Amino acid sequence: MEQIELKANLRTEKGKQQVKKLRGKGFVPAVVYHKGEETVCVSVVGKEISRIIHGAAGENTLINLKIEDGKKPRARAVLVKEVQYGPVKRDLLHLDFNEISLSEKVTVEVEVIPNGDPMGVKLEGGMLDHPLRMIKIQCLPADIPKHVDVDVSGLRLGGAIYVKDLRLPETLKVITDADALLFQVRLLAEKPEEAAAEAPEIEVIREKKEEEPKAAEKAKEEARTEKK
């Protein structure tokens, strides 16, 4: 995966007021984590980081973060660890970056996308279920895929595809449970006309229930006659 360059400014002043000023100028506060080192506070241009995380690779985009601190910018290879959004406008509030080594494997979540129209849907009246949309994989940062494509065109009614059925490059190791269900073609819900066809049975039951009180009343009347 190609690295995307993103400039960041070192952030020395903290607190709610400073953060509010940053956001007012179009910046998003962020922190950079690296194992064994102190957390670095930075700010990035909101429009630039928004374009990156809403791109094809999303939060798995490999970023070359260049931190400006008044000296020579230091480049860091990072991945987005966490994104915080506003509850109403869904605007970017804060970012966590995780600094990584390009020579060490990382674990990320990747979207699974179906390709093709299943035969069980086109010809047999079924519908495609997609219960698991993300899987965890382990690989080198440069090998992180934008997504995983799965051909579902051959699925017949009752057919299914599990994680263990995926055919991925040797550079990718799947961490998700092998027996987890990805896709399944199942029958659609009962059609309205089929339900209507069963309606007379309900009426028969109702008629029987109405006859029961009449029979009971007749028995009581006969009992009174016998006593007389």
Percent of the chain residues past pLDDT 70, beyond the cut: 83
Task: Please state, rounded to an integer, the average pLDDT across all residues of the chain.
Answer: 86
pTM: 0.75
Mean pLDDT, residues 12-16 taken together: 81
Q: What is the pLDDT of residue 58?
A: 86
Residue 225's pLDDT band (cuts 50, 70, 90): very low
Tell me how far apart the alpha carbons of residues 62 and 141 are, in angstroms, rounded to a whole number.
7
For the chain, what percent of residues have pLDDT higher than 90?
68
pLDDT score, position 53: 92
Mean pLDDT, residues 24-41: 94
Instruction: With beta carbons less than 8 A apart as the criterion, state whether 105 and 138 touch.
Output: yes
Average pLDDT of the residues in 53-71: 88
Length of the chain: 228
pLDDT at 1 over 50: yes
Residue 131 neighbours by CB under 8 Å, 6+ apart: 181, 182, 184
- Give the integer Cα–Cα distance in Å for 129 and 181: 10
Three-state secondary structure call for residue 109: strand
Nearest by Cα to 83 from 24, 40, 31, 132: 31
Q: Counting beta carbons within 10 angstroms of the beta carbon of residue 63, is it exposed (0 to 12), middle (13 to 18) or buried (19 or more)?
A: buried
Residue 71: per-residue pLDDT: 76
What DSSP character marks residue 190?
A: P
Q: Is the pLDDT of residue 212 over 70?
A: no
